[in-house]
Amino acid sequence: MRLVSALFRRLLPAALLLAGAIALPLHAETPANASRPKVVVISLDAFGANSLHDPYLPAPTLKALMKRGAYAASMTPINPTITWPNHTAMVTGVDASRHHVLVNGLVVGQRASTPPHIEMWVPKSRLVAAPTVYDAAHKAGLVTAEVDWVAIQNASGINWSFFEKPDPDGPIARDLIEQGVVSRDDLVRFGEPSQAWRDLVYTRAAVDIIRKHHPDLLLLHLLSLDSIEHETGYGNDSGRNTIAFLDDRVREVIDAVRAAGDYDRTTFLIVSDHGQRSLHHWLHADVLLKQAGLQEAAAAQPGYSVPEGGFALVYQAHATAASIAKLKKLFTGQPGVAAALTPDEAARQGWPTPAKTDQAPDLLLYAADGYAFREADGNGRDFATPTSEHGAHGYPNTDPLMQAIFIAAGHGIRPVGEIPAFPNVDVAATIASLLGLSMGDIQGRPLVDILEGDRLAK
């Protein structure tokens, strides 16, 4: 997920000083749910499986968790391999064909005579078409919390929230202001500083929730790695240094759980949503649609694209099988286009069809290695344009560089070491087993090989 942070590298030292300067609250409240098992899920956005297996990776906390528990050779994301769909898969246990989240928000105005756009801050009830594990936990009377999780705005199944775009007057925000972590003005201007600074604040919010509210399920999402890799590309020291920074945020959360007295009954799951790859060319799908006359005022079946890095969604008003075939022909064989898929073809890869949800495209485009889709810029006449190195994701979930990470350690986890790759829809089922919940009819299955006997789903 892109939250561009051009100042990341300059502000990282100051951010680290801030982390060390903020003291934990002196006293943790006594939990009312002291005997219940707890699960803390920390998602490190864009952390690729290949990076985790680097023997020189500066991540001592993650390596210690791997030695204590279990970790996957890789974890397979769903399609599309971007942030919101995959975070939703990990809490619903189903892929996009059932939860219907295809972008980082809700596509609005598609199949109209004007360009569509994405609305991010819509209620979870409008966005997610499947029940979640936090809904099940809340219904069972457990305490649920989220910090910077996604597709979760105003979710009724969450007790304590600190949103990606936090409410400056929310209860957790007020705690952080009182503790001197941030000012109210900092929260009003939350998107202006670096992503590293925001991740520090997200971590402090998680620490506050842990110590004051002892959640049975906490979902925490950190974005620094995704941000810096979008800016600089994949597999460089900027990314590795950011992993070291995030490793320290994981340690901070674990320390907070220990200080709260919940360590012995807490399971830690460290996950990611997708990997990343480098690109050197942008693709502009609307250029071809415009050249084909599909964006003229008089067009009977206007068409527009929603670019999402490794893929693009093409929507057409009043689409028919014949018009979709023409769209497919328009893009097939173009430089940088790896595939142009009809709805039925995309459905074989876990995408929903337009018959199921209006979010589904009439044509799905995948970019080739070294290319990514974005909105047209410059003269707006060239379909492919060169660029300096950047990073992108959204490529098919079979791409080795799109594979994600999974680490489990703590209460209820057997120390089995490395396990084979598995689909990320299994995360929700595993959380449910750890908390003694039922998820009903989902695609995911609990990771029984890593669970102690009393944590297996009944």
Same domain assignment for residues 282 and 362: yes
Look at residue 165 and tell me if it is in a domain.
yes
255 and 358 together in one domain? no
161 with 293, same domain?
Answer: no
- Tallying the residues shown for the chain, one arrives at 458
Query: Is 360 contained in some domain?
Result: yes
| Count helices and strands in the chain by DSSP H and E runs | 16, 19
| Domain annotation covers residue 201 | yes
Q: Is the pLDDT of residue 247 over 60?
A: yes
Residues 297-353 pLDDT 10s: 999 999 999 999 999 999 999 999 999 999 999 999 999 999 999 999 999 999 999
Q: How many CB atoms lie within 10 A of CB 456?
A: 12
Task: Average the pLDDT over 431-435 and give the result.
Answer: 99
| Residue 139: CATH number of its domain | 3.40.720.10
Taking 50 as the threshold, does the pLDDT of residue 277 lie above it? yes
Confidence of residue 31 (pLDDT cuts 50, 70, 90): low
DSSP letter at 402?
G
Query: Residue 267 in 3-state DSSP?
Result: strand
Tell me, yes or no, whether 2 lies in a domain.
no
The encoded tokens of residue 378 equal 């410059």
Tell me the per-residue pLDDT of 40-64, one tens digit each, with 9 for 90 and over: 999 999 999 999 999 999 999 999 9
65 and 199 both lie in a single domain: yes
Distance between CA atoms of 242 and 226, rounded to whole angstroms?
9
Mean pLDDT, rounded, for 14-40: 57
Q: Is residue 105 part of a domain?
A: no
Q: Using pLDDT thresholds of 50, 70 and 90, give the confidence band for residue 435.
A: very high
Q: Between 33 and 63, whose confidence is greater?
A: 63
Do 247 and 290 lie in one domain? The reply is no
Q: Does the pLDDT value for residue 130 go beyond 80? A: yes
Number of domains present in the structure of the chain: 2
User: Domain check: are 413 and 296 in the same one?
Assistant: no
**Residue 23 counted as domain residue:** no
Does a structural domain hold residue 26?
Answer: no
Q: How far is 170 from 145, CA to CA, in rounded Å?
A: 14
Average pLDDT over residues 244-248: 99
Per-residue confidence at 26, pLDDT binned at 50, 70, 90?
A: very low
SS3 for 232? helix
Question: Do residues 387 and 407 both lie within one domain?
Answer: no
What average pLDDT does the structure give for the chain? Answer: 94
* pLDDT tops 50 at residue 452: yes
Least confident of 186-195, 351-360, 370-379: 370-379
Same domain for 250 and 157: yes
Distances (CA, A) of 184 to 12, 178, 188, 190, 206: 22, 10, 6, 10, 18
- 362-415 pLDDT, tens digit each: 999 999 999 999 998 766 899 999 999 999 999 999 999 999 999 999 999 999
pLDDT at 7: 38
Residue 320 burial class via C-beta count within 10 angstroms: exposed 0-12, middle 13-18, buried 19 and up? exposed
Distance CA 52, CA 72 (A): 10
pLDDT, tens digit (0-9, with 9 covering 90-100), for 99-127 = 999 999 999 999 999 999 999 999 999 99
Residues 6+ apart with CB under 8 A from 407: 52, 62, 65, 66, 69, 70, 71, 72, 268, 269, 270, 271
Q: In terms of domains, do 387 and 248 share one?
A: no
CATH number of the domain to which 340 belongs: 3.30.1360.110
Residues 255, 141, single domain; the answer is yes
| Residue among 86, 69, 426 at smallest CA distance from 275 | 86
Judge whether 116 lies within some domain.
no
End position of a domain, from candidates 392, 421, 441:
392
Measured distance CA(78)–CA(84) in Å, rounded: 11
Q: Which residue type sits at 85?
A: P
State the DSSP H helix or E strand holding residue 42, giving kind and residue range, or none if neither.
strand 38-44
Do β-strands 75-76 and 422-423 pair in parallel, antiparallel, or remain unpaired? parallel
Asked which of 338, 369, 392 is the last residue of a domain, the reply is 392
Across 288-297, average pLDDT: 97
Q: Please list the residues that pair with 117 across neighbouring strands.
A: 108
CA quadruple 15, 189, 210, 433: dihedral sign: negative
> Looking at the structure, do residues 48 and 179 belong to the same domain, yes or no?
yes
Domain that holds residue 368: 278-392
Range with the lowest mean pLDDT among 79-93, 194-208, 307-321, 443-457?
443-457
The residue type of 27 is: H
CA distances from 170 to 160, 290, 404 (A): 10, 45, 32
Same domain (yes/no): 285, 215: no
Report how far residue 31's alpha carbon sits from residue 145's, in angstroms, rounded to the nearest whole number.
15
